[in-house]
Amino acid sequence: MLVVKDLRIDVGPVTLLDGVSFSLQPGDKVGLVGRNGAGKSTLMKTLMGFHSPAAGTITVSGEVGYFSQESEPSDLEDREVTALERILAARQIGAMLRRMEEIRRQIESSAGAERDQAIRRFARLHDEFEARGGFAAEAEAKRVAASLGIGERELHQPVMTMSGGQRRRVELARILYAETDVLLLDEPTNHLDLDAKAWLVEHLRTYKGALLVVSHDLPLLDEAITTVLAVDNGEIEAYRGNYSFFVEERERRRQQREKLRRHQEAEIARLEENIRRFKGRTEKMSRVAHTMETRVERLKRELVQVQKRGKGVKLRFPQPEPSGRTPLSAHGLAKAYGDNIVFVDVDVDTTRGERLLILGLNGAGKTTLLRILAGVETPDLGSVALGHNVSVGYYAQEHEQIHPGVSVLDHMRSVSDAPDQMLRTVLGHFLLAERIDQDAATLSGGEKTKLALAMLVMARPNVLLLDEPTNNLDPQAKEALLEALHQYQGTIVLVSHDTDFVASLLPDRAILMPEGTSHHFDEEMLELVALA
């Protein structure tokens, strides 16, 4: 199905992975784990041919389905393609469905010979559609879509009018609906609620093909996979078992290596001490010393390598200058995309230092509201007002503030006039020191998140608008972000489906979308966070 041998992957002057070999066979369920920036997403792209390896071979047989962290329907020629048509296109019948609907409307609006000709065309197309299992396939596509939280109304909505989260779910549904032999999934749960995650876990567990999945969603890794490939310091090590077994076994192997390394170093030290004692005394003792030197050289070549424990992200938001009592407010906001009315008559008010959570089901307009508050998008009705001495920092879940062709360091320069040395130091705290001159668009999803957060740190805003800031972050980086937000004294407006993160942050209020009603936050609302 998929065989990788002696693979080396370079990104610019940096070697991410070297000497990588593994294979995926039917029924294999493999989790690819490692810190942000270790090379997981780049490996996925290389397997798909989007990134050329520096060395090694990749052999693939059968149909491959690939879902990236940034999966977007970039190949849409028709901006009116609906979600259902996009999903059905995975089996080459989406276009047929669209053509049948066009001919049906033509039949209704025509007469005479033109109508008869349209009826014949419809009959031929209908027969072909049935021959390809069209109606059964359409029912299956709707079932997959519904399982991932895509409602009936959304199925008939043009994909290009959807939110980023909705589009990602459509792309995931399309890939899972396709008839594939190999699935490569990079962070597939980022935009899924609890029910959709549970369905996905079961779907992957029963999938007959080969699966390679990158995810920071530990339950998914525990329940759906049987093997772990751990990426660390440019190498990959295999562990038979789920994620929980991997965590325990990795530590056991580390301790075993450390013990063996200490034994080797002690033996080298003992031999070197004897060499110093024997060398140059007598001819016989010099020969013994020479033999010991040969043994020491061999032992040094065979020294067991013990991987250093990975550095952690260091994140702290500088305390901002205080804003006015009401830093951000909005009145009578309304937004629609064509016939899709997202929300109407929504009011927002904030108090200095408040933690405000925007809640709602998928497609309720949470991201759209945040974009309007950030000034990125214009409301159809209503207005937004900034209070006295307000500086707004916006984190976009789609990483819109990160531009292709611009280096990591230049992104930092765009938000701060601090000396380069300070900017480099901050990037080092975010584990991006080796990426300073790299095109920011080529970073992994987790690294883009870290860069966006580093830019927020240097911008020193007193109002933070955060849209799903924990997506793509490894557990340590997420914990660092949470601690930094606890210490931050400015105002926070948050959109998040991460129940644990929201519970730890403990917001003061919540705005329920699309109604726009304001409520004091309590723990019962965490159930709605999970459904978001």
Task: Quickly state the pLDDT bin for 334 (edges 50, 70, 90).
Answer: very high
pLDDT at 310 over 70: no
* Angstrom distance (rounded) from CA 414 to CA 407: 11
**pLDDT, tens digit, 9 for 90 and up, residues 375-426:** 999 999 999 999 999 999 999 888 888 888 999 999 999 988 889 898 988 8
* Angstrom distance (rounded) from CA 360 to CA 17: 41
Task: Quickly state the pLDDT bin for 307 (edges 50, 70, 90).
Answer: low
pLDDT at 49 over 60: yes
Q: Mean pLDDT lowest for which of 187-201, 214-228, 271-285?
A: 271-285
Token couple for 484 = 């930094």
The answer to whether the CB of 48 falls within 8 A of the CB of 184 is: yes
End-to-end Cα separation, the chain, in angstroms: 36
pTM (predicted TM-score) = 0.69
| β-pair type (491-495, 463-467) | parallel
The predicted structure's pLDDT at residue 464: 94
Order of all β-strands in the sheet with 381-386: 340-349, 328-337, 381-386
**pLDDT, tens digit, 9 for 90 and up, residues 465-518:** 999 898 878 777 888 888 888 889 999 999 998 888 999 988 999 999 999 999
User: pLDDT above 70 covers what percent of the chain?
Assistant: 95
Domains in the chain (CATH in brackets) are 1-63+182-269 (3.40.50.300), 328-531 (3.40.50.300)
pLDDT at 312 over 70: no
**pLDDT, tens digit, 9 for 90 and up, residues 348-366:** 999 999 999 999 887 788 9
The predicted structure's pLDDT at residue 408: 92
**pLDDT, tens digit, 9 for 90 and up, residues 100-130:** 878 888 888 888 888 888 888 888 888 887 7
User: pLDDT above 90 covers what percent of the chain?
Assistant: 32
**pLDDT, tens digit, 9 for 90 and up, residues 196-215:** 888 999 999 899 999 999 98
Give me the DSSP letters along 375-434. Answer: TSS--SEEEEEE-TT--EEEE-TT-TT--TT-BHHHHHHTT--S-HHHHHHHHHHTT-GG
Give the ranges where 279-405 is alpha helix by DSSP (H).
Answer: 283-301, 366-374
pLDDT at 75 over 60: no
The predicted structure's pLDDT at residue 232: 82
* Angstrom distance (rounded) from CA 276 to CA 345: 86
For residues 517-532, give the mean pLDDT: 83
